[in-house]
Chains A and B, each alone.
Chain A
């Protein structure tokens, strides 16, 4: 007897996704994880556009990682034009980037993931509000704090506008800085409370290493002098055993990363060139970053990292660790915002220098909350974009998520086959997807649909 189970829409995550499970005679025949959000052809619509507009256009790839797209985009244009923005612009951008992590991690942890971790009867943010109103309130306050910093530096709450090649179009007033500094003191206390609550859940968690499954993959993340870094650094990749596979500058990415395509999803599949696919697949995001770094540069997050190591160790291959790694990062993000706001230079009004467009190729990497984000532009002498490559975090994770789900489905094929236990097993599937905090619309800007077989152009159905 064969049966196909379709799980759609996947819920409590960004974008539209589907999991399709084929079971035949009690055996798992196939499982596909597909991104269903329609492709938006960003690489195509950017062609011939003025490069300085790219930060405002590309951030529309993602309504959650917009700050990171905005910043990596301006960095890529500056790389192509050989431009170094003033130091205050760097401080503003770093602080903006960290603030976006505060908001994003607050949303995911407090409202999307906690209902699973606390195993609430009502698995939604409404359930959290009912079960633990104080914790819900703190979650909302942290989300709001991140938003306030983003708005003050970025000019808007969602889809920020201030990064232009050569710097930032506006700085931070002394008044805004002190207001945010005051809020940040409360935020530090609050983030510790959330972190303690999540750590307590993991410390008391019944030891079930099979719950989320995992995979022995490579891991990727930015580092700066070996330390945790989310704005600007070198990309470090570690082997499953924890050895460093390579560490390179964003500009050299083509020597290390290659991409291929999938028949059932609008994402590309990037992997480490030296190891091929699937051996070169790497996981990114909180688990990837925590697995590759030596340490944090801030004291409180470093302290939580020590507690994390006692639970999962490093590197950990357990997908459950994503949620706790995200918790450690949540603390680090608040600490980085405080560090930026505490720098007296942040209110300087020399936030930008005029620059000239020129022909060149530019590449930049920042970390988005969901992982490594790369923009690469080819620009002509008029400053118009002639070529674009964007690798978003969920493209790195996509096939890893699917493999992770396959392992889970194999282990739980009996529960999936029986109608009575199916619902719980499907919840297990969604918990795994959610642990990665995937950004499906981010991953889907790529457009290699209906394109090639063995290198030959294949006309689409709509063309005939």
Chain B
């Protein structure tokens, strides 16, 4: 019987909703253990002192969330982050491209339709969106936006048996059923412009598909449904910077490509989920502080 905690910080609860999609399996897990704190599901208001496994969804964007993460760490034997916000900063980490001050000025500049009122002052917003691991020690991570339902089942059952789960070592291309021919398009294509050949590799056809730079194990549901992989599972074991890996993969296209690659426009593709924890962000932040 393991004492389980399930908490959400700055995120959208999508990982918890994905866990609910386990249906009976999730119930079996919860009923075989003890759910001691999970605001989305049960009424416990205080984090107990003796949590065995704490699962945290969402990243950190306020001082209040930082304190909650620290309290959970203090009271838990193992901390597991679920989802790409908690693991890498996720999509909200894209806002880190701008410094806090600039971000706020831009928002202020576009108040069309809004009558300026008072200022919220109930918590303090941090300068950057942060993954949980930048504030406390994290023992395991389950990346994905959200992780596939099968991932969640595997991680929970393995961890609760007291065993150490392993993240997939593949990339999304390894999972993808589409055929690669070695022929590349001459220009980047955007998903609305043409109807891609459903059987061929999307990257070869010119669509920025993040498969080569993204951790596999998901079964490539997005390319299978006819859209690019957008990188939601973060970097692979081979490289800790997803955007740089993708730039490298795009170099293989460079011989034929006639388009320019522009970072501000393409950032949302190559660092959609992992900018907050990327090397590039660290470099830009360091330069900004000097």
Contacts and interface: CB of A to CB of B under 8 A. Distances in A.
Interface of A: 7-16, 18, 32, 34, 36-45, 47-50, 52-53, 56-57, 60-64, 66, 107, 111-112, 123-126, 129, 140, 143-144, 147, 154-159, 161-162, 164-166, 169-170, 254, 257-266, 268-269, 352, 354-357, 383-384, 387, 389, 441-442, 447-455, 457-463
A143 B124 contact: no
B91 A57 contact: yes
Contact of A47 (B61, B104, B106): B106
Given A107-B20, A447-B107, A462 B195 contact: no
Interface in B93-123: 94-95, 97-98, 100-101, 103-108, 110-123
B20 A14 contact: no
Contact of A450 (B30, B45, B119): B119
B91 A451 contact: no
Contact of B224 (A56, A154, A155, A354): A155
Interface string B42-61: 11110000000000001111
A233 to B, nearest CB: 22
Interface of B: 8-18, 20-21, 23-24, 27, 30-31, 35, 39-45, 58-62, 64-65, 90-92, 94-95, 97-98, 100-101, 103-108, 110-127, 129, 145-146, 149, 190-195, 221-222, 224-227, 230, 232, 264-265, 268-269, 272
B106 A44 contact: yes
A138 to B, nearest CB: 12
Nearest to B230: A56
B62 to A, nearest CB: 4
Given A11-B44, A16-B39, A107-B20, A461 B227 contact: no
A35 to B, nearest CB: 9
17 contacts: A9-B45, A12-B43, A39-B125, A45-B92, A52-B192, A53-B268, A107-B20, A140-B24, A155-B225, A156-B225, A161-B227, A254-B113, A389-B113, A447-B107, A448-B119, A449-B120, A460-B125
Contacts of B44: 11
B281 to A, nearest CB: 13
Nearest to A383: B190
Nearest to B107: A447
Given A11-B45, A169-B227, A354-B195, A269 B98 contact: no
Contact of A158 (B30, B98, B146, B192): B146
Contacts of B127: 462
Contacts of B39: 9-12, 16
Contacts of B43: 11-12, 123-124
A457 B105 CA distance: 8
Contact of B42 (A124, A143, A156, A158): A124
Nearest to A20: B122
B264 to A, nearest CB: 5
Given A38-B62, A38-B129, A170-B226, 10 more contacts: A41-B103, A62-B13, A124-B43, A129-B27, A143-B20, A165-B192, A354-B192, A447-B107, A449-B120, A451-B104
Most interface-central of B90, B222, B264 (chain A CB within 10 A)? B222
Contacts of B20: 107, 143
B19 to A, nearest CB: 10
Contacts of A13: 40
Nearest to A47: B106
A268 B122 contact: no
Contacts of B62: 36, 38
Most buried by A among B21, B104, B126: B104
B149 to A, nearest CB: 6
A74 to B, nearest CB: 10
Given A43-B107, A45-B92, A463-B101, A259 B119 contact: no
A387 B190 contact: no
B118 to A, nearest CB: 4
